[in-house]
Amino acid sequence: MNKLKYIFIATALGLSFTACDDDHQPDWTETAPFDVNAVEQSLADGSTMVSVSTNTIEVLYDTKIVINPAVSVTLNGEPLETEIKDDNRLVAKVELRKGKNYVFVIPGRAVTGVGSKTFAKEIVINFSTEKSVLDKTNLATALVNPNASASAKAVYNMLVQNYGTKQLSGAMGAVAWETSFSDLVAEKAGKYPAIVGFDYIHLDNSPSNWIDYGDITPVKNVWNAGSIPAVTWHWNVDHEVFATETVMPSDWSNNVQLTAGALGSLPTVFQELQEGSVITVKIKDVAAGAQGSVKNSSWSELAPGLDYFDISGDEFTVKISTGEMLEQIKTEGFIISGHDYTVSSILVGKTCKESKGEGFIASNVLIPGTRENAVATADVAKLAGYLQLLRDADIPVLFRPFHEAVGDYTWGHWFWWGNSGVETTKELWKWLYNTLTNDYGLNNLIWVWTMQTSDEGKLADVSKLKATYPGDEYVDIVGADLYEAALSNQSDRFHLIYEAVGGKKIVALSECGNLLDPEIAEEEGALWSFFMGWYEQNDNGPGFFEWNLNGEWSTVLNNPLVLNRGDFSVK
Based on the domain organization, do 468 and 381 belong to the same domain? Answer: yes
Based on the domain organization, do 448 and 366 belong to the same domain? Answer: yes
195-199 and 228-232 as β-strands: parallel, antiparallel, unpaired? parallel
Q: Does residue 134 form part of some domain?
A: no
Q: What is the DSSP string of 316-382?
A: EEEE--SHHHHHHHHHHEEEEEEESEEEEEEEEEEES---TTSS--GGGGGSTTSHHHHHHHHHHHH
- Residues labelled catalytic: 404, 511
Q: Does residue 571 form part of some domain?
A: no
Query: If DSSP states are collapsed to H, E and C, what string results for 416-479?
Result: HHHCCCHHHHHHHHHHHHHHHHHHCCCCCEEEEEECCCEECCEECCHHHHHHCCCCHHHCCEEE
- Cα–Cα distances (Å) from 170 to 196, 531, 554, in that order, read 6, 5, 13
Based on the domain organization, do 437 and 545 belong to the same domain? Answer: yes
Per-residue pLDDT of the chain (571 residues; tens, 9 = 90+): 333 333 334 434 434 343 344 444 554 445 567 899 999 999 999 999 999 999 999 999 999 999 999 999 999 999 999 999 999 999 999 999 888 899 999 999 999 999 888 999 999 999 999 888 899 999 999 999 999 999 999 999 999 999 999 999 999 998 789 999 999 999 999 999 999 999 999 998 899 999 999 999 999 999 999 999 999 999 999 888 999 999 999 999 999 999 999 999 998 889 888 888 899 999 999 999 999 999 999 999 999 999 999 999 999 999 999 999 999 999 999 999 999 999 999 999 888 887 665 678 999 999 999 999 999 999 999 999 999 999 999 999 999 999 999 999 999 999 999 999 999 999 999 999 999 999 999 999 999 999 999 999 999 999 999 999 999 999 999 999 999 999 999 999 999 999 999 999 999 999 999 999 999 999 889 999 999 999 988 777 677 888 999 999 999 999 999 999 999 999 7
Based on the domain organization, do 416 and 500 belong to the same domain? Answer: yes
Based on the domain organization, do 384 and 509 belong to the same domain? Answer: yes
Based on the domain organization, do 55 and 9 belong to the same domain? Answer: yes
Query: If DSSP states are collapsed to H, E and C, what string results for 98-125?
Result: CCCEEEEEECCCCEEECCCCCECCCEEE
Q: Does residue 172 form part of some domain?
A: yes
Q: What is the CATH number of the domain that holds 485?
A: 3.20.20.80
Based on the domain organization, do 168 and 26 belong to the same domain? Answer: no
Q: What is the CATH number of the domain that holds 120?
A: 2.60.40.3780
Q: Spell out the residues 6+ positions from residue 41 whose beta carbon is closer than 8 angstroms to its own.
A: 57, 58, 59, 60, 123, 125
Measure the CA–CA gap between 387 and 216, rounded to whole angstroms.
9
Count Cβ atoms within 10 A of the Cβ of residue 215 and give its class: 0-12 exposed, 13-18 middle, 19 or more buried.
middle
Based on the domain organization, do 228 and 252 belong to the same domain? Answer: no
Based on the domain organization, do 342 and 365 belong to the same domain? Answer: no
Q: Does residue 473 form part of some domain?
A: yes
What percent helix, strand, coil does the chain show, rounded to 5? 25, 25, 50
Residue 31's pLDDT is: 54
Based on the domain organization, do 242 and 231 belong to the same domain? Answer: no
Q: What is the CATH number of the domain that holds 282?
A: 2.60.120
Indicate the number of domains in the chain. Answer: 3
Based on the domain organization, do 121 and 157 belong to the same domain? Answer: no
How big is the chain, counted in residues?
Answer: 571
Q: Does residue 568 form part of some domain?
A: no
Q: Does residue 139 form part of some domain?
A: no
By C-alpha distance, which of 23, 17, 84, 147 is closest to 440?
A: 147
| Residue that terminates a domain, selected from 310, 334, 351 | 351
Measure the CA–CA gap between 182 and 311, rounded to whole angstroms.
46
Judge whether 120 and 37 are in contact, CB under 8 Å: yes
| Residue that terminates a domain, selected from 303, 336, 351 | 351
Measure the CA–CA gap between 548 and 483, rounded to whole angstroms.
11
Angle at alpha carbon of residue 55, lines to 50 and 61, rounded to 5°? 90
Residue 544's pLDDT is: 87
| Residue that terminates a domain, selected from 310, 333, 351 | 351
Q: Does residue 559 form part of some domain?
A: yes
Q: Spell out the residues 6+ positions from residue 92 whose beta carbon is closer than 8 angstroms to its own.
A: 56, 57, 58, 73, 75, 80, 81, 82, 104, 106
Measure the CA–CA gap between 369 and 424, rounded to whole angstroms.
17
Q: What sign has the CA pseudo-torsion 12, 17, 19, 22? A: positive
Based on the domain organization, do 195 and 49 belong to the same domain? Answer: no
Q: Does residue 419 form part of some domain?
A: yes
Residue 356's pLDDT is: 62
Measure the CA–CA gap between 321 and 325, rounded to whole angstroms.
7
**Which residue range forms the structural domain that includes residue 154?**
150-236+355-563
By C-alpha distance, which of 306, 335, 304, 333 is closest to 318?
A: 306
